[in-house]
């Protein structure tokens, strides 16, 4: 396990077996870590559970692990789950049937945005971002890559004042 605090960024990372048990442990460890950060991350526990369960079900390669990363930069909580099946990308089923197929619909409903990153190597990372309490989704959407929320708010205020 790895936990760092640098310049207001909190990070937690753990490598677990890519099994149903590993997915359950990922959810429990994430819930504990998020409670210790005291940030109001209730929805994040469900997102971690879904992403880890999908990794165990669809991304399992014998002898390879999954990795969970939680990153809180003060405005956004980023959740990443990496597995060893880079060629098996997640599929959102519009009309799930049976007892499965609803996980990514739940992730989409709870997260502000989510996606998939290829690599490294044969791996893929499925990620989701949740806006932290006290921040509006508009504030986060206004912040471009590498732009802080404060800069985005200043830009939005300047545009509103010029109307």
Query: What is the C-alpha separation between 132 and 129, in angstroms, rounded?
Result: 9
Q: pTM for this structure?
A: 0.75
Per-residue confidence (pLDDT) for residue 5, from 0 to 100: 56
Q: Which tokens hold the place of 104?
A: 């990514």
pLDDT in tens, 74-129: 889 999 999 987 787 777 766 656 566 678 888 999 999 999 998 778 899 999 99
CB atoms within 10 A of CB 62: 6
pLDDT in tens, 68-86: 999 999 889 999 999 987 7
Give the three-class secondary structure for 8: coil
Q: Which tokens hold the place of 81?
A: 């789950």
């Amino acid at each position: 396990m790895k936990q760092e605090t640098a310049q207001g960024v909190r990070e937690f990372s753990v490598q677990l077996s890519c099994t149903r048990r590993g997915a359950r442990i990922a959810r429990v460890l994430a819930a504990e870590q998020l409670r210790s950060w005291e940030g109001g991350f209730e929805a994040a526990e469900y997102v971690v559970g879904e992403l880890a369960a999908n990794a165990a079900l669809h991304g399992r390669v014998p002898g390879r692990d999954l990795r969970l990363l939680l990153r809180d930069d003060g405005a956004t909580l980023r959740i990443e789950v990496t597995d060893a099946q880079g060629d098996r990308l997640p599929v959102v089923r519009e009309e799930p049937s049976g007892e499965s197929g609803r996980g990514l619909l739940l992730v989409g409903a709870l997260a502000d945005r989510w996606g998939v990153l290829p690599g490294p190597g044969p791996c893929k990372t499925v990620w989701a971002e949740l806006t932290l309490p006290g921040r509006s989704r508009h504030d986060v959407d206004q912040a471009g890559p590498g732009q802080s929320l404060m800069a985005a708010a200043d830009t939005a205020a300047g545009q509103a004042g010029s109307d």
